[in-house]
Structure 1
Amino acid sequence: MLNQVIKTAKEAGQKILEFYDTEIEVITKDDDSPLTKADLAAHHIIVDALKEIDPETPVISEESGIPDYQERKDWNKFWLVDPLDGTKEFIKKNGEFTVNIALIENEKPVLGVVYVPAFDVMYYGEESIGSYKKEGERSAQKLNSPEFKAPGSAKIVVSRSHGDDTTAKKLKTLNIEVSEEVPSGSSIKFCLVAEGKADLYPRLGPTMEWDTAAADAVYRFSTNNGVKFSPLKYNKKTMKNPYFLLGINEYIDVENL
């Protein structure tokens, strides 16, 4: 099934690129976030494919709306999709946008595929095989990066669209000194931690479950020994994530720093 999901993510990414070199028309959604024809085209490709690959399992996509909690609260398994994560980066044409497809079981991602179409880079992870990065036609490389242990000096990923100067100050209260900031867009930030290009991803701002699920799987399984700790849970009532600190092997309440 993983190979079919990888193929689907690539198909959706190639469709997105058809819009990338044109004048991008932007619609503003009710929550003030941007929407483009590329989002919707990728959404239809992915949802249609998942219905064929796994017809018994429900699908939630950012562009399909959130089913009522009473309907989904007892779901043990569902697909969670962001057809175009990083729409702002897509509009800016900086390449840092992704296709995210995750399978959630019992509040955790058990499979995740993150495709970066502008650079033809595929990240994928599943507990039984671990996590991998595949660049173009090159062979896939297994990801195995250590978890950060405080106190210490850390290279952190920061959002290219939502960065501010308070993160380093807040991390300092945890005895973590920021040695370098690595700006990035979309769910690529998780993947940079998974492949060891950064130590931590502190997110002190809002995200939704579909923003993080697929890349969270890539991070969790980017080890040769068990599963890494992630503070995130899925299928919550609002589907909003709390603020979080990814890359460290313990839960830290960063909302109250």
Structure 2
Amino acid sequence: MTPFLEWREAMFKVGLCSITFRQLSVAEVIDISKKAGISGIEWGGDIHVPPGNVEGATQVAYLTKQANLQVSSYGSYYRVGYEEDGQESFAKVLETAIALTAPSIRVWAGRVGSREASEQDRKKVVDDAKRIAELAKNKMISIHFEYHRGTLTDTAESATQLMEEINHPNVFLYWQPAVNESVQKRIDSIERVSPWLSHVHVFYWENTNRLPFSSGVTMWEQYLNALKRVKGERYLLMEFVRENKVEQFMDDVEVLKRMVTNLNRQFLKKEY
């Protein structure tokens, strides 16, 4: 297992967030992923790989590898700064990630959004982030904040402030299109958080209405063109398809794969 690695330019892999299909078993998620021809899976910590179930995580890791798929990350629901508020300890999350052979752990930046957060709220998240980053670093696993509303990463400005305050080489940041923001503001946010940007959650919504990904190609071409300028190899993780239907995911991922193939070809031409 290795932390998130920097490359000279962006290279994309396509993956799936297992929470897209919470209603399906681990075996079914793996089967779908194989049929879709993707590279890896972010295994969710709520249903498929709950924290503390080391035996189950070990089995999921084995089945994923047997299917020639990668574990891109462990999608935990650990709320940084709030370990004492009744959630599973980070020690259990880390133990599970190790058993899963996950190179990275996704976490959430607290419990309140940036507008409501006090200085004490921010300090709690910063201090705990530094703590868990060191624990994970000792196991060659990196920490990645979800870019999400209702947390301290709900805007590019707040996310940037948080990452600067944490200032730890083992802490990174996901990106996804923020709900109810303009396309240009989303593109600007990619540039703003680019020093820490790792993986990307991919979906196409209007507000919170899930639509076929093919309807959002024009937007996502702009996002991917911005993302390809950010150094690093990263996963584009498909998440939350219309009506949670497998057929919709298959259609959506084919569109995304074609876009990624074109972008990766452009990268290879520049390299060679």
TM-score normalised by structure 2 residue count: 0.28
The structure with the greater share of residues assigned to strand is: 1
| Higher RCO structure (Cα 8 Å, ≥6 apart) | 2
The structure with the greater share of residues assigned to helix is: 2
